[in-house]
Amino acid sequence: MSVIRLLGGAVLGLAASVALAADPDQAIRATLTKLQPDMPIEAIAESPMTGLYQVHLKGGRLLYASADGQFLMQGNLYQMKGDEALNLTRQAESKGVAKEINGIPASDMVVFSPKEPAKAHITVFTDTDCGYCQKLHSEVPELNRRGIEVRYVAFPRQGLGSHGYNSLVSVWCAKDRQEAMNKAKAREDLPSASCANPVAKQYELGQMIGVNGTPAIVLGNGELIPGYQPAPQLAEIALQAK
């Protein structure tokens, strides 16, 4: 997401010439619009820290701002409870990510379900050309055996029009998506196919929620795990996060 790269985790002191509005919502929106006209702001609200406002972006990401909009911050906000530091930013972002992921229709995914009712599920942003994605896919039967449903969404790492993109389109447009995914992940030849498909939309969603590599695993509670995890460990994490 361009705003994430733009801020880079730094605090920005904006010039006094920025036109400020009468209330925090308007002032913060004015500042962010000046920085990036198409910034996908969903809501602005007071944060748990007095005097600090949190800006909810589409996809679940958060920014923080002063009430007058002159100071912005990207990073984690923690709250101390006893000897424990709670990451309030991660909690809020995970809820936003879960909302986005749960909004994807099952018909737009490639789903591998256990024979018995699933105990938990994971959503995996995948690229058929990715070695660790292929390794994770070889462990899907074990994940299913442990009660974990695996839901695939597309994330062509090299971008739209790449070999990975075309391969993912062929998977999504196959008559049997599961069989096509199995072949693609086994590096077997996959018949080229085309149709109306969600690959580009899912790629955009992945970028929006912070995916920058594959496999990227989203747990049931919206927590994002970057990279491969062995089936036994991943199943345990998924069951804890359902």
Q: Which residues are catalytic?
A: 127, 130, 133, 157
C-alpha gyration radius of the chain = 20
Contact (CB, 8 A) for 52 and 66: yes
Query: How many Cα atoms sit within 13 Å of 237 on the Cβ side?
Result: 15
Contact (CB, 8 A) for 13 and 71: yes
